[in-house]
Structure 1
Amino acid sequence: AQLIYDLKQINPRAKVTVKLVSSSGVGTIAAGVAKAKADVILISGHNGGTGASPATSIKYAGLPWEMGLTEAHQVLAMNNLRERVTLRTDGGLRTGRDIVMAAMMGAEEYGIGTAALIAMGCIMVRQCQSNTCPVGVCTQDERLRAKFTGSADKVVNLITFYAQEVREILAQIGARSLDEIIGRADLLTQVSRGAANLDDLDLNPLLIAVDGSRSITYDRTKPRNAVPDTLDAEIIKDGHRFFEDGEKMQLSYAVRNTLRTIGTRASSHIVKKFGMRNALQPDHLTVKLTGSCGQSLGAFSVRGLKLEVQGDANDYVGKGLSGGTITVRPLMSSPLKAEENTIIGNTVLYGATDGFLFASGRAGERFGVRNSGASVVVEGCGSNGCEYMTGGAAVILGRIGANFGAGMTGGMAYVYDPEGVAEDMMNLETIMTCAVGHPHWEMQLKGLITRHHEETGSRMAERILANWDRERLNFLQVCPKEMVDRLPYPLSDEVAKVPAE
């Protein structure tokens, strides 16, 4: 629900699609997704897939699309949610008859992938990842690409045949359009094959017409699932001189945790006006916030926007951060020690690609997961910190939780560890640790802590910088094993030996 809300803040006119694997109980999930204001729900069957999919992913994952589609359609209809969403299905639709059956079972849109790929010339040899496609569909080898004979006309021809067969079937049953039969499961009956092992299968649960013989009808041109505006509507209004003329501005607001996704729509407007790779100063538009921010503070924020929070923030701070700057520090009147208290929630910087985050306090669990380019300083984190991290830099000035660095394949992390216990909390399968020895890495570490102090007034950062020659020895540098031989500067001479595989 939060991700759908985030995406609709970026582009209110976009349709958000949620893909669900066909399985038992998918109807309940579909109902939740509809309530979360998704526009399209895709029920994907166990069959189909491209030549890049492993055979195990195609043959043994999920159920037939018919089972998931009918359950989703029935549950949505019974809960008066059906007209909120468009139902789509895919998973090996090969004929016009399949499309007509999907419509009768409740689908309004249909995904045709495998057949279209084959029409282009794919022969499903399943070696796309090896750059050896014998028909040149999926390869960078010019010699093999010369063998490709596909064209857009072949796919157009395929879809034309689908449409022709659909029209013929509709004519046979007396329907004038596909819309007339959507949800008309009463037009389907189970066929007896004359074999006991087949006829014992009862398909009646798939053929229930929950909404009688009525098809789903609504105006598809009108948005149905708009989400309410967040604080950004006010930011864009108050900051019109920045958004229109690029004037440097500073805005201030009192906030509470019902205000979610602050900064996201403003970032969307920045990209539209100035471009993703703009020449704006990092603090060209500074938004000062006092209080508790809701989820997704600064999600997908871009360069030119700086969010300064005096208070705290909920989960997903800096999700997908794309160049913006976020600082979070306690209220001036707070008697709490920042390094001992959580100031930002879980799943911080999830999938961030660029930008900065400075938080004077602890982060929750799953901090920095899939960070691929952002730089961050926090004063402690929970379990699974820096999991699957592929780039950027993370400085943790406090205790870490279990499983730190699991699956980390890029970037660099520094953990303040005066008690010598951090390694016990790390997942050392993919990472290694050492002292901060080389001047380049020491400069990166000290530079981030210095900026952290400047941005947040962190007392902990101030103490560390005041005794740098001694305190730098208390840092562990955490590096992915596979990066060691590709670093532009060597690690410390005290690097732990990488165990032989």
Structure 2
Amino acid sequence: CGDAVSPHDFAALVGYSASGIYPYNAHACIRDLAAHGDLDVTAEQGIANYNKAATAGIVSIMSKMGISTVQSYHSAQIFEAVGFTPEFVNAYFAGTVSRVGGMGVEDVEREQNERYDAALAILKSPAPDQLPTLGLTKWRPLSGEDHLIDPQTVYLLQTACREGSYDTFKEYSARLHRTGRAVRLRDLLDFNANGRTPVSLDEVEPARNIVRRFNTGAMSYGSISKEAHECMAIAMNRLHGRSNSGEGGEDPRRETPLANGDSKNSAIKQVASARFGVTSRYLCSAFEIQIKMAQGAKPGEGGHLPGKKVYPWIAEVRQSTPGIGLISPPPHHDIYSIEDLAELIFDLKNANPGARVSVKLVSEAGVGTIATGVAKGAADKILISGHNGGSGAAARDSIWHAGLPLELGLAEAQQTLLQNGLRSRVVLEADGKLMDGTDVAVACLLGAEEFGFATMPLISMGCLMQRDCQQDTCPAGIATQNCRLRRGFRGKPEHVEHFMLFVAEQLREVMASLGFRTVDEMVGHPECLRQIEVPGNRKANLLDLSPVLASATCEFGAHIPGADGRHFLPQMAADSELDKTLDSTLFVPYTADARAHLRPIRFRADIANVNRCVGTILGNAVTKAHPEGLPAGSITIDCDGSAGQSFGAFLPRGITLNVCGDANDYFGKGLSGGEVSVRPNPHATYKFDENIIVGNVAFFGATSGRGFINGLAGQRFAVRNSGATVVVEGCGNHGCEYMTGGLALILGEVGQNFAAGMTGGVAYVFDQYGTLEARVNHESVELKAPTAGELAQIRALIQEHVDATQSPRGIKLLYSFDSMSKHFVKVIPTEYERVLAIVAAAEAVGKTHAQAEELAFDIVTGRASNADVARFDVAGGAAPVAVSSVASTKKEA
């Protein structure tokens, strides 16, 4: 296939039944480049490299879809067509979704001929100095693709926000919506009063009320600078809107209001697949907790923060290692079904009963069905994110070919929720390049009642749209952690405030023209939109947006109060019955005196597997009153029975929960300084160390604390552990996956794919039968013999394990430790050990811990001098430093 050159091209061919692909045109170009001396390798090696990269691209795309074998992807047709007629799709891509019509066979033929003629024109003599620049990624002034955000747009918006000029903002808006322009589907829509009588602007809801519905997008501290992140938070808190922390955690010091009354605290705290910085305190400081299921710019992929942006202060908040890149797992490992999502929603409501829980979904075919499940899972809000959101670390193939326009997903979600009588139970939010009040009005009429903005607030603060966010070179001091560049940040909270108020004011004008007095009245009225023709744009005029503008009703709405509502009704909100939980009825009231007066207490409680999230509401009560937690041993609860899901989730320091029996999935999830243990019932007849006693995904996302399991754990034990110390007597597949900190001691065999993606922390495995070598994923870790100091640490941990669980296996190991210690193997990430060694070497010559970490960061990211590298980068020859000593030094610092 001559036209196939990119991973998306190849993936589409395989998805539509190609069993083999020969990209002869790409291969010919490589040979030509090699013949002219433009490559550093031979033509054969260049083609081999190209084929390897193309294969990796296909595998990456399969991974996003959760498919592990090419046989499963072959002919699966997991695509949606945008811009083709149903007749064309049914004839050549049968079974593929195509909702908005567009080009047919004749139009495709015309385009192919135009491309061919253009190619021949380039070959004519004299040859051009360079090939045309298409401007697909970066804006180009001549012959480039039309970009919504060009230099003139940036100038007008920044001038408007800096000067507080609504007139200049109207100029900016007019440029966005100039006649004949069609970049987004919403550019093909105009307002239609549809018989409604306009009202006076004075009768419309005030702008100050409307901005309470506005949120800034989820941009993590790490992806953008401290100054930019806090600037947006201050602005949105002043407006009583909400800023979003993103998935990188947040410095707890931001919870304290400033002297002038401003607050840097992000009202929305995001919980993504990596759970960076997700502690009890983090969740308790939120007004809304957002579960990020996907990202608009790259659905199916986890977040990615390049190592060059993981400065020491970022690593501290994320509880990771400076200079080592951070990759979020593609899925949440505690969500493999809609029921699992409902469980996480319940967990988070327990962690902070006063916060809303929202779920972020991406616009794609079938999002309406997913939204229905989310609403039934008792979420308070659903966010539909459009495909044109920004992400500097997203691959270009993802930016260009993944996700769908906001309008398609938002309309589908609104229609499906209405048809199922669920729309009034949830708030519906939209984001995806909402740039002015007109865009917000379109989203509102399609069903949204809250609105998210990300790119435009950044531009209002000074972003110049260099489109190199991942490079840590942002000249505006926004998408960088470089201290020199950050000093150039000129943004002010007032700039963001002006943007939000201007958007709200423009929305008010549209509302008045359509006869709506409040946003609630306006939500979900697609009949007030109509498709327009774009002069001179043949392709745009082929589209049919009638599916987007279709109205929906609930057939049984008359029989269920509120079921026919077009927008959220507070009286219809889901009730998770938190007041009936074991925590609310027993733990919280029984420990009131202990929490108030710091008097230690210990008691027992019977539990069953219907008792989910045991200890989490108690943990919330402790964290609210004592953000740093309680003294160790303040509250100890001995539980008898089978623990339900998420036992001890997000447990803070000072609480100890012991189980005599067994536990379900997610045991110790998000552990935040507390201690949990489980041991079999003493009357059990099975061998404790040969049977699974806790379910899958134990200690997922744990950040600190201790855990002891007298028995085996299921799959994905200690996934994304970033600071907890945990002991188990064996685990299933994928143990310690994506771990970035903490310590795991496994006193038995592990399953396959152990330590995959592990970039920090250390695991010690008792490998009595020599099976570890074949079961470890060696991509990022090394296997070593523990040092004498580390063996002493292991022995002390086994003693703690025995004290907590009376483990027969632990007792046996203690009695014969001297002879059995030879079977312990240390599993440690290569780069992590290198950083620890650099830090230890720097501290040995008198540097502070902070200085040593900065030096290590500079060395591993290639910024340090040759002299410093030669002096401190001892990874190549010096003896490895004991993990315990460096870890304890870091903790004390």
TM-score bracket for this pair, using the shorter chain length: over 0.9
- For residues 387-407 of structure 1, the C-alpha deviation after alignment (integer angstroms, 9 at most, x for no partner) is 011111111111211000111
1:30-179 pair list within 5 angstroms: 30-49=371-390, 56-141=397-482, 143-179=484-520
Q: Is contact 1:183–1:215 with CA below 8 Å preserved after alignment? A: no
- Identify, as 1 or 2, the structure richer in helix: 2
The whole-number CA distance in structure 2 between the counterparts of 1:492 and 1:149 is 43
Query: What percent identity do the matched residue pairs reach?
Result: 44
Instruction: Output the amino acid matched with 2:576.
Output: V
Task: Confirm or deny that 1:462 pairs with 2:811.
Answer: yes
Q: 2:785 aligns with which of 419, 435, 446?
A: 435
The whole-number CA distance in structure 1 between the counterparts of 2:491 and 2:397 is 27
Alpha-carbon offset, residue 284 of structure 1: 1.5
The whole-number CA distance in structure 1 between the counterparts of 2:377 and 2:798 is 40
SS of the residue 2:552 aligns to: coil
Structure 2 partner of 1:237: 589
SS of the residue 2:745 aligns to: strand
SS of the residue 1:292 aligns to: strand
- Structure 1 residues 298 and 316 mapped into 2: Cα distance closer, same or farther (>3 Å)? same
Alpha-carbon offset, residue 411 of structure 1: 1.1
Task: Confirm or deny that 1:322 pairs with 2:672.
Answer: yes
- Unmatched 5+ residue regions in structure 1? 494-501
Q: Is contact 1:127–1:133 with CA below 8 Å preserved after alignment? A: yes
SS of the residue 2:773 aligns to: helix
1:223-262 pair list within 5 angstroms: 224-229=573-578, 230-233=581-584, 234-262=586-614
- Structure 1 residues 404 and 143 mapped into 2: Cα distance closer, same or farther (>3 Å)? closer
1:170-189 pair list within 5 angstroms: 170-189=511-530
The whole-number CA distance in structure 2 between the counterparts of 1:131 and 1:428 is 30
- For residues 413-440 of structure 1, the C-alpha deviation after alignment (integer angstroms, 9 at most, x for no partner) is 111111111111110111111222x221
SS of the residue 1:444 aligns to: helix
Q: Which moved more, 1:74-83 or 1:475-484?
A: 475-484
Structure 2 partner of 1:498: none
- For residues 460-489 of structure 1, the C-alpha deviation after alignment (integer angstroms, 9 at most, x for no partner) is 111111111111111111111112332459
- Unmatched 5+ residue regions in structure 2? 1-341, 555-563, 842-878, 883-893
Task: Confirm or deny that 1:201 pairs with 2:201.
Answer: no
Structure 2 partner of 1:366: 716
Task: Confirm or deny that 1:191 pairs with 2:532.
Answer: yes
Alpha-carbon offset, residue 147 of structure 1: 3.5
The whole-number CA distance in structure 1 between the counterparts of 2:881 and 2:392 is 45
Q: Is contact 1:342–1:364 with CA below 8 Å preserved after alignment? A: yes
Q: Is contact 1:435–1:492 with CA below 8 Å preserved after alignment? A: no
Structure 1 partner of 2:740: 390
Q: Is contact 2:704–2:722 with CA below 8 Å preserved after alignment? A: yes
Structure 1 partner of 2:759: 409
Q: Could you say which structure has the larger radius of gyration?
A: 2
SS of the residue 1:207 aligns to: coil
- For residues 91-139 of structure 1, the C-alpha deviation after alignment (integer angstroms, 9 at most, x for no partner) is 0011211111111110001112211211111012233444422122344
SS of the residue 1:343 aligns to: strand
SS of the residue 2:826 aligns to: strand
Relative contact order, higher structure (CA 8 A, sep 6+): 2
Q: 1:4 aligns with which of 345, 353, 357?
A: 345
SS of the residue 2:501 aligns to: helix
- Structure 1 residues 205 and 396 mapped into 2: Cα distance closer, same or farther (>3 Å)? same
Alpha-carbon offset, residue 154 of structure 1: 2.1
The whole-number CA distance in structure 2 between the counterparts of 1:210 and 1:59 is 31
Q: Is contact 1:52–1:126 with CA below 8 Å preserved after alignment? A: no
Alpha-carbon offset, residue 173 of structure 1: 1.9
Alpha-carbon offset, residue 35 of structure 1: 1.0
Task: Confirm or deny that 1:268 pairs with 2:624.
Answer: no
Instruction: Output the amino acid matched with 2:531.
Output: Q
SS of the residue 2:693 aligns to: coil
The whole-number CA distance in structure 1 between the counterparts of 2:607 and 2:381 is 32
Task: Confirm or deny that 1:341 pairs with 2:682.
Answer: no
The whole-number CA distance in structure 1 between the counterparts of 2:430 and 2:567 is 18
Q: 1:471 aligns with which of 816, 820, 823?
A: 820
- Structure 1 residues 130 and 408 mapped into 2: Cα distance closer, same or farther (>3 Å)? same
Task: Confirm or deny that 1:298 pairs with 2:648.
Answer: yes
Q: Which moved more, 1:203-212 or 1:181-190?
A: 203-212
The whole-number CA distance in structure 2 between the counterparts of 1:159 and 1:492 is 52
Q: Which moved more, 1:50-59 or 1:164-173?
A: 50-59
Q: 2:772 aligns with which of 417, 422, 427?
A: 422
SS of the residue 1:206 aligns to: coil
Q: Is contact 2:426–2:568 with CA below 8 Å preserved after alignment? A: no
Alpha-carbon offset, residue 57 of structure 1: 4.9
The whole-number CA distance in structure 2 between the counterparts of 1:145 and 1:425 is 45
Structure 2 partner of 1:499: none
SS of the residue 2:812 aligns to: helix
TM-score (norm 1): 0.92
Q: May I ask how many residue pairs the two structures share in their alignment?
A: 489
Q: Which moved more, 1:443-452 or 1:161-170?
A: 161-170
Task: Confirm or deny that 1:210 pairs with 2:560.
Answer: no
Q: Is contact 1:53–1:126 with CA below 8 Å preserved after alignment? A: no
- For residues 219-245 of structure 1, the C-alpha deviation after alignment (integer angstroms, 9 at most, x for no partner) is 55x682331232111111122221222
Alpha-carbon offset, residue 454 of structure 1: 1.4
The whole-number CA distance in structure 2 between the counterparts of 1:110 and 1:96 is 11
TM-score (norm 2): 0.53
Structure 1 partner of 2:103: none
The whole-number CA distance in structure 2 between the counterparts of 1:146 and 1:393 is 38
Alpha-carbon offset, residue 62 of structure 1: 0.8
Q: Is contact 1:239–1:249 with CA below 8 Å preserved after alignment? A: yes
